[in-house]
Amino acid sequence: MTVTRSLSALALCCSLLAVAACQTAPPPPVMERPASFIPLGVNAPYLTGDVVGGKRSRAAKMKAAGIKPLTAAGASTYLAVTETELRRQTAGIGLDVIRLSDGILIRIPAAFTFTSGSAAVNPQFDATLLEIARTVKTQNQSYVDVFAHTDTTGTPPVNQALSDKRAAAVASFLSKHGVAKGRIASKGYGESAPLYANEESEEQKAANRRVEIRLVPYRATDSRR
């Protein structure tokens, strides 16, 4: 009788552990960060310019989504909190979280998200993108621009089309995981905005192939621009 009870208790314990394991999301994969993948090109025009589609048009979508704009002081606090959370969630994974003059840039090597020539997000990267999506969803008072870039392999038209599809794929992923559609826009830059203008090595090509997510504070004055 005692043996039977012990076996029953053991079976129950194993069942509970199995259920708990199923309910716990796996941690993001730890990926090797390319040696040359450093914060370059933060003053590039596409990063310092207006959001994709313009703030006036995007602000109307933010308002329609019920998102409240930030004050000047609130924008500063928003950026600080968001940057801290993103750095915490992506530590050791192999991404760059970069503070811009008026925003935050998450720079992701394309090799982490896509296989060569494909615009389908790699399943093994889902956990990391989910971490990013979780923070971006919670810290919702910002525009979300998704950019994609290629190296110079292939023709410019092919590279442009591929980057457009990759940017749209990451934007769609964020939307499907809780980030309001009204906040998101995407744009591919093909090979037109490289970190390394002259690709002299495979490392430099790998650094040029990248996806970037830019967060820009949403302010009340944006609707008048």
Q: Hey, CA dihedral for 166, 172, 178, 183, is it positive or negative?
A: positive
Domain that holds residue 18: 2-224
The Cα-based distances of 118 to 94, 129, 156, 174 in angstroms read 21, 17, 16, 18
The per-residue pLDDT for 8 is: 46
The per-residue pLDDT for 225 is: 67
Whole-angstrom distance, CA of residue 132 vs CA of residue 125: 11
Structure tokens belonging to residue 22: 């199923």
Task: List average pLDDT for each run of 10 residues in the chain, which is 225 residues long.
Answer: 44 45 50 58 87 96 95 94 92 86 90 84 83 94 97 93 96 96 97 88 85 96 83
The per-residue pLDDT for 97 is: 92
Tell me if 87 sits within 8 A of 72, measured CB to CB: no
Whole-angstrom distance, CA of residue 60 vs CA of residue 185: 13
Neighbours of 45 (CB within 10 A): 7
Terminal-to-terminal C-alpha distance of the chain: 79
The per-residue pLDDT for 126 is: 81
Whole-angstrom distance, CA of residue 128 vs CA of residue 109: 13
List CB contacts of 13: < 8 A, sequence separation 6 or more.
none
The per-residue pLDDT for 19 is: 43
Q: Helix or strand or coil: residue 164?
A: helix
For the chain, the domain total comes to 1
Write the single-letter amino acid at 104. Answer: I
Any idea what the CATH number is for the domain that residue 215 is in?
A: 3.30.1330.60
What is the model's pTM? 0.83
Residue with the two structure tokens 């998704």: 146
The per-residue pLDDT for 7 is: 40
The per-residue pLDDT for 207 is: 83
Structure tokens belonging to residue 24: 């716990």
